[in-house]
Chain A
């Protein structure tokens, strides 16, 4: 099996260092099996403290998105418990789910903007949802749009914006009520490297302001540059949890060769080293 050498190479999931009293996000032995037997997540446990910036990395289908969707209570875990700010999500009744989502900003690969609203209205919507007064909205929306650098496109519609600009709008929308937690699912997946840097900087700035940030990505370059905590997923399992890590753990050339061969299915006997 190709998975065996992979596992050996990776240091066993390091016991997470002691963190501040109540972690913002906690997964405890979470398994999510989809109908039809596909497993999205397998006995995953992770704990993310306040103010952290965490990358969730791994290849497509490794469970990153499952993780994000579990945190939004879009999905229910088959097993285990998901907690946000110490509160188990399974205890939140359906009616209170919107309240949860108001406290968790989300950014998606496909932006998920409302197509029939202007930039201004898109951001205003998440304030209208929480019943914010008109004056507050008029004050906050231009503020946050200035922060993301879109103060000139207030009245443009999403389809008149570039991908990077749309993602900025979606970040503005996610952050406008200052949620304690920001989730980003492949925020730079559809963007070119240069635009991606801008988006990441923006997310990083939000993190610096005290918001806990979880970014699911397979943007290797970005992860390597930022050097933040990295949680690596593989086939639904957490195989690595490393402070200021790289997208791939440091590996020697030989290890890389072994992995390459393993993944190509050539096997170790191909070349005697």
Chain B
């Protein structure tokens, strides 16, 4: 209680630096609050693209249903396979027709029979491991041609070039946005810590006097840290108010019209708010405490 009163006194008597620190917290929280969902949406989009990395396994024409089923079980057991989808001959034809209606306008009658093989479509648990999955199912033979392990399988195929491209582009996007996010967080922390440092620097004489009167370090530190918490909290709280207002007035009407704005993977809003508040308060308090350490050495 005493410390709390001391903190309020400190805030009252040095309003300008406290206000500056609070504004800094407000602005950085605002920027972070906007940027974090953007980063997440970008990364989500990148990983969506990565989902498209698949392996197609064509079932041999003469394979019996029993052979096919055992092949499916074997594939499901293979390491790094997340999902296996069976596509029957009829389904394959239907999909091909959907993709290219003009070629099938005359109907399959022209072909006499369905030329498309049944297949399994595999989604690897990690897109970068797609090569290993293929290697396991159909290791390269001595001539360099792939030889399927299972008799029911005719061929294992994945679009190698496309896959490589997808992997490198999405990898780059992820690294760049991640780097930006990290940079922003570091800059925010540095900025807040520095502003608080300045505000405490202005009062170092006061701290020195407290030491000389025989105050223990924590006795001096508590009021400053409580001050930091108050400053950090009000800053973030104001930022949250602004963010919420912006979200309600700008983003909500838009998301009705364009579904893609409501990216599925962005952070839940309450969680975002909670994180911001926690970070703002923690950085402010820790900034106060750490800055004081230097003056408390005497």
Measuring CB to CB, which residues of chain A are less than 8 angstroms from any residue of chain B? 72, 74, 95, 98-103, 106, 112-117, 125-126, 128-130, 173
- Residues in A with CB closer than 8 Å to B73 are none
Question: In this assembly, does B211 line the interface, its C-beta being within 8 Å of a C-beta of chain A?
Answer: yes
Measured CA separation A74–B297 after assembly (Å) = 9
Complex Cα distance, B205 from A117, in Å, reads 13
Are A101 and B212 neighbours in the complex by a CB distance under 8 Å?
yes
| Closest-CB distance, B22 to chain A (whole angstroms) | 19
Residue in A101, A103, A129 whose beta carbon sits within 8 Å of that of B219 in the complex: A129
Report Cα–Cα, A116/B9, bound state, in Å. Answer: 8
Partner of A72 from B13, B212, B215 at Cβ < 8 Å? B212
The smallest beta-carbon distance between A213 and chain B, in angstroms, is 17
Chain B's nearest CB lies how many Å from the CB of A126? 5
Q: Does B61 contact A (CB under 8 A)?
A: no
Cα(A74)–Cα(B9), bound, Å: 28
Neighbour of B214 across the interface among A112, A116, A130, CB < 8 A: A130
Asked if B10 and A101 make an inter-chain contact with CB atoms under 8 angstroms apart, the answer reads no
Could you tell me how many residues of chain B have their Cβ less than 8 Å away from some Cβ of chain A?
19
Name, among B213, B215, B217, the residue most crowded by chain A CB atoms within 10 Å (CB to CB).
Answer: B213
Tell me, in angstroms, the Cα distance from A114 to B2 when the chains sit together.
17
Instruction: Tell me whether B186 is interfacial, beta carbon within 8 Å.
Output: no
A134 and chain B: residue at smallest CB distance: B2
Of all chain B residues, which has the CB nearest A111? B209
Residue in B13, B213, B298 whose CB lies within 8 Å of A129? B213
B70 contacts partner chain A, Cβ-Cβ < 8 Å: no
B209 touches A113 (CB 8 A): yes
B219 nearest CB neighbor, chain A only? A129
Contact in complex: A129, B214 (CB < 8 Å): yes
Of B13, B14, B209, B216, the contact of A98 (CB 8 Å cutoff): B216
**SS class of chain B's interface: helix, strand, loop or mixed?**
helix
**Which positions 197-243 of chain B face chain A at CB distance < 8 Å?**
205-206, 208-217, 219
- The answer to whether B206 touches A101 (Cβ under 8 A) is no
Min CB distance A111 to B, Å, is: 9
Taken together as a complex, chains A and B put the C-alpha atoms of A27 and B47 apart, in Å, by: 73
Partner of A125, one of B14, B205, B210, B216: B210
The answer to whether B206 touches A106 (Cβ under 8 A) is no
Find out whether the CB atom of B9 lies under 8 angstroms from the CB atom of A98.
no
Contact check, A101 vs B213: say whether CB atoms are below 8 A apart.
yes
CB distance from B18 to the nearest CB of A (A): 12
Query: How far, in Å, is B205 (CB) from chain A's closest CB?
Result: 8
Contact B214 A126 (CB under 8 A): yes
**Chain A contacts of B2 at CB under 8 A?**
128
Can you sample 11 A-B contacts with CB below 8 Å? A74-B212, A98-B219, A100-B214, A102-B214, A112-B208, A112-B209, A112-B212, A116-B206, A129-B210, A129-B213, A129-B214
Nearest-neighbour CB distance to chain B for A75, whole angstroms, equals 9
- Which residues of chain A are near B213, meaning CB under 8 Å? 101-102, 125-126, 129, 173
Q: How far is the CA of A205 from the CA of B267 in the complex (A)?
A: 70
- List the 5 closest A-B pairs by CB distance, nearest first: A102-B214, A101-B214, A116-B13, A129-B215, A126-B213
With A and B bound together, what is the CA distance between A130 and B217 in angstroms? 13
What is the distance, in angstroms, from B214's C-beta to the closest C-beta of chain A?
4
A113 contact set on B, CB distance < 8 A: 209
The chain A residue with its CB closest to the CB of B9 is A116
**Digit string of B1-18 for contact with A (CB within 8 Å is 1, else 0)?**
010000001100110000
A72: chain B residues within 8 A (beta carbon) = 212
A103 nearest in chain B by CB position: B214
Bound Cα distance A197, B219 (Å): 36
* Known pairs A115-B206, A129-B210 / 15 extra A-B pairs, C-beta < 8 Å: A74-B298, A95-B216, A100-B214, A101-B214, A102-B213, A106-B212, A112-B205, A114-B210, A116-B9, A116-B13, A116-B206, A125-B210, A126-B214, A129-B214, A130-B214
Contacts of B209 in A (CB 8 A): 112-114
Q: Is the Cβ of A114 less than 8 Å from the Cβ of B206?
A: yes
Q: Complex formed: what's the CA distance from A124 to B133 in Å?
A: 76
- Say yes or no: A98 contacts B215, CB within 8 Å: yes
Chain A residue at minimal CB-CB distance from B208: A112
Q: How far is the CA of A126 from the CA of B215 in the complex (A)?
A: 8
Complex interface: chain A residues within 8 A of B298 (CB):
74
Chain B nearest CB from A72 CB (Å) reads 7
Closest A residue to B14 by CB, please name it: A116
- Find chain B residues with CB under 8 A from A173 CB: 213
In the complex, chain B residues whose CB is within 8 Å of the CB of A98: 211, 214-217, 219
Q: Closest CB-CB distance, A166 to chain B, in whole Å?
A: 13
CB distance from B206 to the nearest CB of A (A): 6
Q: A106 CA to B211 CA in the complex, in Å?
A: 12
Alpha-carbon separation in the docked complex, A123 to B216 (Å): 17
B-side contacts of A106, CB under 8 Å = 212
